[in-house]
Amino acid sequence: MSEALYPVPAALAADARITASTAAAMHALAASDPDTFWRQQAQRLDWITPFTKVDESSFNEADFGISWFADGQLNVSANCIDRHLATRGDQPAIIWEGDDPADSRVITYAQLHEEVCRFANVLKSHGVQRGDRVTLYLPMIPEAAFAMLACTRIGAVHSIVFAGFSPDSLASRIRDCDSRIVVTADEGLRGGKRVPLKANVDAALDHCSSVEKVIVVQRTGADVAMVAGRDLFYGPARDAAATDYAPQAMGAEDPLFILYTSGSTGTPKGVLHSTGGYLLWASMTHEHVFDYRPGEVYWCTADIGWVTGHSYVVYGPLANGATTLMFEGVPNYPDHSRFWQVCDKWNVSIFYTAPTALRALMREGDAYVQAASRASLRILGSVGEPINPEAWEWYHRIVGDGRCPIVDTWWQTETGGILIAPLPGATDLKPGSATLPLFGVHPLLVDAEGQELDGATEGNLCIAKSWPGQMRTVYGDHARFFQTYFTTYPGRYFTGDGARRDADGYYWITGRVDDVINVSGHRMGTAEVESALVAHAKVAEAAVVGMPHPIKGQGIYAYVTLNANEEPSDDLRKQLVAWVRNEIGPIATPDIIQFAPGLPKTRSGKIMRRILRKIAEGETGALGDISTLADPSVVEKLIADSQLAS
């Protein structure tokens, strides 16, 4: 691993929002007097009723629970919009760049206020009330942000389902949170291709009896089927709606949104975030980590279907009165220069993307980057998976012309926002390291037995104490929340990641230690892909593991045992790939399917994934102890049939 050191650029060291001395003072206060520290930080939000309570969280079974600022009241949309109107009503809040470079829209804070109020009135007129769950299945269009903020204005809880998910995935998420309303679009548009969103919703609703209304935003104007009494177009409803809506006072601990994410077992979990703590965390971290300054254009390329889109396209930047750029398209359309053309077009100062996108662009050569000036860029960010030092160096040297610090931000859907990342004015950078914890964050490394490890070491990454942005529960299953995150190492939040800590205290995330894989920065449980495979009539059993992939970070390697009497064939392999795409969505497309007459199992019937992982990594010489297998001979067969060799 690269151990190069990139010191803080002199200009930033002097005038960043947080310099080394401010950072030291803030860390010291957060450590010595957390109550005062958090009381002060929380003043960055506008409270309708001031809080008196601060942190009342416990990770222990006896008094388990996460709670911050519990008796305070606030409204998220008022914090993201109304309070900015007096000073920056005419400043762009959202710059929307369409899939087609000729398509764009600039929405000022005053216009955002009007659009969100109209959307809130439309939702209200269709019966949405405080506490109701509203499912959003939308492309990256401004109406997605309007709908999110409209829910928060009413106090309804949104659940965004990534628009790349299949009808089945959408249906299970609608059912889990019992939504009565779905907001979608006729079609999405990405890289010039149309995505049939409304048709997907129709297919999903065959399996969801709870849904009474479907609101359809017309993005492409395609002719879509509309069910009388159930479906309506948003446009006419918006035009008829009133332009004002009083924000609902919400308790700090009231739910803000649900976002489904993959774990190591079972179905996706509905991660539930709170109103006060989440917004504080999104806002603080957006300002601190990106050194955001008023008037700057900030661009996070994430889709709103992922947590990064929630915290760093919408809530963090808007709470800070920033101008946030929302991009409908893809990095390679019309060509591989698109990101950098957009940076020039809108004078982007801060750019935040994922390593998988960088690796894909790096492969196309530097000329696409150099076709744009990128003179406005000041800070570059990375999120979603470990960034390999080669990609880091390329990002720094070519994209940033060696001028721009790279903030490698480690966090999770569960954490609400960034926990480990550099502060650009205070932290020297090491390519490949997310560096140091933010204020009030207490990471620790433990061994397999839960013993805390000191100094330079490697282990499983836990967090010792709560922070305001932490998830509050798994929707509808509080026991699962406790069980999943707080029982592996009692009294600690277990992240599921492994990490190394070097002699300077810098953290190097090594990846998931559980059965979760990270494909192009998208989290997926291997169990989800397995259950899709075994749902196929010809499949008896399946085991899925991650494999190294040059662009995606990890690819999906599936071992499939067919039913007796079924013959393996290339045709069947193609069918199974298409089947999984259809069951879950294109992000779950298996890269390799290996037909396996037998899987390596222990005598108790547990599949030894360790062995399957090694074979998928091409490391067949280092399989370790296989003596506990019920039938060790299956391993030779698996190696001989390995799809990597072919």
Q: Is 523 in the site for ligand 6R9 (CB under 6 A)?
A: yes
160 forms part of the interface with ligand 6R9 (CB under 6 A): no
User: What does the longest C-alpha to C-alpha distance in the chain come to?
Assistant: 73
| 488 counts as binding ligand 6R9 under rule CB under 6 A | no
Binding residue (CB under 6 A) for ligand 6R9 from 146, 410, 485, 595: 410
**Only segment of 105-113, 141-149, 289-297, 404-412 that touches ligand 6R9 (CB under 6 A):** 404-412
83 labelled binding-site residue: no
Whichever of 270 and 521 has its CB closer to ligand 6R9, that residue is 521
* CA distances, 480 to each of 28, 448, 557 (Å): 35, 21, 28
Please say which residue, 495 or 526, places its beta carbon nearer to ligand 6R9.
495
Considering only CA atoms, which of 424, 421, 496, 432 is closest in space to residue 460?
Answer: 496
- Give the whole-angstrom CA distance, residue 340 versus residue 354: 15
Residue 613 is labelled as binding a ligand: no
Query: Applying CB under 6 A, does 514 fall inside the site for ligand 6R9?
Result: no
409 binds ligand 6R9 (CB under 6 A): yes
Is 409 annotated to bind a ligand? Reply is: yes
CA 494 to CA 496: how far, in whole Å? 6
- Comparing CA positions, the residue from 228, 136, 257 lying closest to residue 185 is 136
Residue 413 known to bind ligand: yes
Binding of residue 528 to ligand 6R9 (CB under 6 A): no
* 111 closest CA partner among 128, 95, 129: 95
Q: List Cα–Cα distances, 262 to 173, 176, 554, 558, in angstroms.
A: 12, 14, 15, 18
The reply to whether 466 sits near ligand 6R9 by the rule CB under 6 A is no
Say if residue 347 carries a ligand binding annotation. no
User: Cβ distance 109 to 89 under 8 Å?
Assistant: yes
Determine, following the binding rule CB under 6 A, whether residue 494 of this chain makes contact with ligand 6R9: no
- By beta-carbon proximity to ligand 6R9, the closer residue of 142 and 384 is 384
Nearer to ligand 6R9, 97 or 385 (CB): 385
413/427 with CB nearer ligand 6R9: 413
411 binds ligand 6R9 (CB under 6 A): yes
Give me the 208-247 binding string for ligand 6R9, x by CB under 6 A, dash otherwise. ----------------------------------------
310 is in an annotated binding site: no
Q: Which is nearer to ligand 6R9, 51 or 395 (CB)?
A: 395
Closest separation between CB of residue 300 and ligand 6R9, Å?
11
Secondary structure element (H or E) that encloses residue 286, with its range? helix 276-290
Q: Is 566 annotated as a binding residue?
A: no
Q: Is 497 annotated as a binding residue?
A: yes
Nearer to ligand 6R9 (CB atom), residue 112 or residue 307: 307
Query: Using CB under 6 A, which of 97, 114, 168, 385 touches ligand 6R9?
Result: 385
- In sequence order, which residues have a C-beta less than 8 Å from that of residue 359 and are 6 or more positions away? 388, 391, 550, 551, 553
Query: What is the closest distance, in whole angstroms, from the C-beta atom of residue 448 to ligand 6R9 in the complex?
Result: 18
Considering only 263, 270, 386, 546, the residue that binds ligand 6R9 (CB under 6 A) is: 386
Q: Which of 318, 322, 299 is nearest to 146 (CA)?
A: 318
* Member of 19, 210, 267, 412 binding ligand 6R9 (CB under 6 A): 412
500 is known to lie in a ligand binding site: no
Rounded CA separation 457/510 (Å): 12
- How crowded is residue 625: how many other Cβ atoms within 10 Å of its Cβ? 9
> Judged by CB under 6 A, does residue 261 bind ligand 6R9?
yes
Is 531 labeled as ligand-binding? Answer: no
Indicate the residue among 12 and 407 with the shorter CB distance to ligand 6R9. Answer: 407
Relative orientation angle of helices 570-583 and 526-534, to the nearest 10 degrees:
120
Taking a C-beta distance cutoff of 8 angstroms, is the pair 47, 73 a contact? yes
Burial tier of 94 (Cβ tally within 10 Å: 0-12, 13-18, 19+): buried
Distance from CA of residue 46 to its chain's centroid?
Answer: 26
> Is residue 308 involved in binding ligand 6R9 (CB under 6 A)?
yes
Q: Tell whether residue 53 is among the known ligand binding residues.
A: no
- Binding of ligand 6R9 at residue 408 (CB under 6 A)? yes
Binding footprint of ligand 6R9, residue count (CB under 6 A) = 24
Site for ligand 6R9 in 324-383 (CB under 6 A): 383
CA distance 196 to 204: 12
512 binds ligand 6R9 (CB under 6 A): yes
The residue type found at 567 is E
Q: Which residues of 21-39 are buried (b: 16+ CB within 10 A; e: fewer)?
A: eebeebbebbeeebeebbe
Q: Is 536 annotated as a binding residue?
A: yes
Q: Residue 516: helix, strand or coil by DSSP?
A: strand
Q: How many CB atoms lie within 10 A of CB 97?
A: 21
Q: How far is CA 536 from the centre of its chain?
A: 29
Q: Which is nearer to ligand 6R9, 315 or 411 (CB)?
A: 411
Instruction: Say if residue 374 carries a ligand binding annotation.
Output: no
The answer to whether 520 is a known ligand-binding residue is yes
Q: How far is the CB of 207 from ligand 6R9 (least distance, A)?
A: 26
Residue in this structure with the two tokens 């005038």, named with its chain if needed: 15
Please give the structure tokens belonging to residue 631.
């039938």
Query: Of the candidates 399, 434, 445, 545, which one interacts with ligand 6R9 according to CB under 6 A?
Result: 434
Angle of CA points 193, 365, 381, to nearest 5°: 75
* Chain residues that interact with ligand 6R9, rule: CB under 6 A: 261, 306-308, 383-386, 408-413, 434, 495-497, 509, 511-512, 518, 521, 523
Known binding-site positions for ATP: 384-386, 408-413, 497, 512, 523
